[in-house]
Structure 1
Amino acid sequence: MTSTVPAHGSLPSTLGPVRAVKAPAAEDSALQAVLLDMDGTLVDTEGFWWEVEVEVFGRLGHTLDDSWRHVVVGGPMTRSAGFLIEATGADISLPEISVLLNEGFEARIGSTLPLMPGAARLLAELSEHEIPTALVSASHRRIIDRVLASLGPQHFALSIAGDEVSRTKPYPDPYLLAAAGLGADPARCAVVEDTATGVEAAEAAGCHVVAVPSVAPIAPALRRTVVGSLEEVDLAFLRGLMTEMRQTFTER
């Protein structure tokens, strides 16, 4: 797959002109590109983030309520860490806590990561069929680059990090930027997400979403399909969803 943007590299933090990769025409499908979330979708790390948050705030003398886990999952660090600072009254700034959380997460993931069931097979299939694919995460670039080493950077034409966009999830900006970088129409992109925050971002961008809930339930909706795991998702499944959706909207 050829790209005019750096493979799995950073892109501008605005939604201005992006030199796009031309998506290959799929004669039998409306699918142009696949955009994948990272934590909880491809790698089993949502629990890692919560464990690190509990540990870091514990060192600061504060106990986190387990019910807060649903509040902080899937969002940018500025939102999740900001919420926890306010909820606990911890005497620490947002930049300071962000450094501690990123350092704690990096130490926890080590050199390898547990992949979600079906993730390796799906990535291999998308690569084999040269489907333009992007990794779109609210995590910072330093974390994404570590995770890419386990996922295989060759599977992605580009990646978007939460600290590289002015507005990350739940805003549509990261998905709009990824689609532009792949030369794809957002309406013809399939997004795979595990949290309500990510689903909201993808749907606001006009993408069709396959939700694989990790922590909290996600209900089916228009342009949204809910599955139990990535083991239910393959290229034929994604192409079928996009073709069916295109026909539905054409008939209206």
Structure 2
Amino acid sequence: MTTTVSALGTRPADGSALQAVLLDMDGTLVDTEGFWWDVEVETFAGLGHALDESWRHVVVGGPMSRSAGFLIEATGADITVAELTVLLNQGFEDRIDRALPLMPGASRLLAELAAHEVPTALVSASHRRIIDRVLGTLGSEYFALTVAGDEVARTKPHPDPYLLAAAGLGAEPSRCAVVEDTATGVAAAEAAGCRVVAVPSVAPIAAGHRRTVVDSLEQVDLAFLRGLMTEMP
């Protein structure tokens, strides 16, 4: 299921081969990947368990069910995935209510895409309740479509969220530029057949076919994204 807000049209006005831009949320537009790990650490401490720092790379960027299941198994904590999910979502909401920093370049990129009427979707593994809270700060008006992790049968690293977003915007996946910060998200976008810009937040991501790696979102603008469409097929 998707939520549609303030549609911006179906094609760029100048006929560019770029048909849509699909953006991840945590770690890509908002500086929150560290928030999730902090909440996981605090939650498990309350359950009497310490998390190993090396597990951070395992749980980053994926669906909450996978992260929660891994941490329960790794620690042996006496809690169900459903119960842990409630605690983690609540802990995260408490964090973003106090502060929600945007990634450098996020506001500028969103404003530029909107100014040029480029169809844009937010595609996140986070649950709808989290996305809607973040949109209050990020700006729901920038997105023609939003896809939450609990609204698809299979979320990242499966391609389903990106295929759903592309279809919802009337775009061909191969003509969509995706911006992601984790290997899990990159895998989902590439499996969908999209061009990918990786802006690593927690763990390194190597460059590859149909994938460009940059150091910061500040290096990404509309001209850059359009340029991806003219590269190798």
Q: TM-score, normalised by structure 1?
A: 0.89
Aligned letter for 1:134? Answer: A
Corresponding residue number in structure 2 for 1:238: 225
> How far off is 1:22 after superposition?
6.2
> How far off is 1:241 after superposition?
1.4
> How far off is 1:82 after superposition?
0.4
1:91 aligns with 2:72: no
Q: Distance in 2 between matches of 1:112 and 1:128?
A: 27
Residue of structure 1 aligned with 2:96, choices 109, 112, 127: 109
> How far off is 1:24 after superposition?
1.7
Percent of aligned positions that are identical: 77
Residue of structure 2 aligned with 1:179, choices 166, 171, 180: 166
Q: Distance in 2 between matches of 1:42 and 1:175?
A: 17
- Residue segments in structure 2 that go unaligned for 5+ positions in a row: none
1:7 aligns with 2:5: yes
Q: Distance in 1 between matches of 2:103 and 2:9?
A: 30
Q: Distance in 2 between matches of 1:168 and 1:131?
A: 24
1:51 aligns with 2:45: no
Q: Distance in 1 between matches of 2:229 and 2:26?
A: 24
Is the contact between residue 21 and residue 183 of structure 1 (CA under 8 Å) also seen in structure 2?
Answer: no
> How far off is 1:218 after superposition?
0.3
> How far off is 1:110 after superposition?
0.6
Corresponding residue number in structure 2 for 1:164: 151
1:79 aligns with 2:58: no
Q: Distance in 1 between matches of 2:228 and 2:144?
A: 23
1:132 aligns with 2:119: yes
**CA deviation digits over 1:155-199, x for unaligned, max 9?**
000100000000000000000000000000000000000000000
* Divergent runs of 4+, >3 A: 25-28
- Residue segments in structure 1 that go unaligned for 5+ positions in a row: 9-19
> SS at the partner of 1:96?
helix
1:211 aligns with 2:185: no
Is the contact between residue 132 and residue 182 of structure 1 (CA under 8 Å) also seen in structure 2?
Answer: yes
Aligned letter for 1:7? Answer: V
Q: Distance in 2 between matches of 1:162 and 1:47?
A: 19
Work out the number of aligned pairs and report it. 231
Q: Alpha carbons of 1:26 and 1:203: their partners in 2 closer, same or farther (altered >3 Å)?
A: farther
Q: Distance in 2 between matches of 1:231 and 1:180?
A: 28
Corresponding residue number in structure 1 for 2:51: 64
> SS at the partner of 2:30?
coil
Is the contact between residue 170 and residue 197 of structure 1 (CA under 8 Å) also seen in structure 2?
Answer: yes
> SS at the partner of 1:110?
helix
Q: Distance in 1 between matches of 2:227 and 2:79?
A: 49
1:193 aligns with 2:174: no
Is the contact between residue 13 and residue 117 of structure 2 (CA under 8 Å) also seen in structure 1?
Answer: no
How large is the Cα RMSD of the aligned pairs?
A: 1.5
More displaced, 28-37 or 229-238? 28-37
> How far off is 1:29 after superposition?
2.7
Corresponding residue number in structure 2 for 1:16: none
Q: TM-score, normalised by structure 2?
A: 0.96
Is the contact between residue 22 and residue 183 of structure 1 (CA under 8 Å) also seen in structure 2?
Answer: no
